[in-house]
Amino acid sequence: MKKVENGKNVVVHYTGKFEDGSVFDTSLTEGREPIKTVLGQGNLIKGFEIGLVGMSEGEKKTVEVSPEDGYGVYLDGLVTKVEKKQVPEGVKLGDVLQSQGERGTINVTVTEINENDIKLDANHPMAGKKLIFDLEVVSVD
């Protein structure tokens, strides 16, 4: 039986959930394909890859991924207020805008709109959240 390890081609079905059980993504939806990746190249979040290592073809398991091994811890320093006139007209709560940062283009989410200013959050939407993945290894080459 082939085992999952770094450098191997892996095909895996997954369902990602938050701690409350709500599903945020799955490959099991009709028309979706399983993930195909070479393990260890950083194409997947760290905790997802760690969870796959050592699994065999056909094996299923559930892994919990901490924020540190997922999308990172939530950083208050990545939240900023800007004057309303600095963003496009008609911006709504939850809109994702692009901004220029020190490392190039970054996505920011509109989290608050006031009379004169808007709060923007550059954290990943899943930063600070523990994630739970149901994994099923389809194949290993």
Mind listing the pLDDT tens digit for each residue in 71-109?
999 999 999 999 999 998 899 999 999 988 778 898 999
Whether 129 and 65 have beta carbons less than 8 Å apart is answered as no
In a domain? residue 4: no
Kindly report the pTM of this predicted structure. 0.84
Together in a domain, 13 and 68: yes
Together in a domain, 32 and 80: no
In a domain? residue 3: no
In a domain? residue 23: yes
Together in a domain, 19 and 37: yes
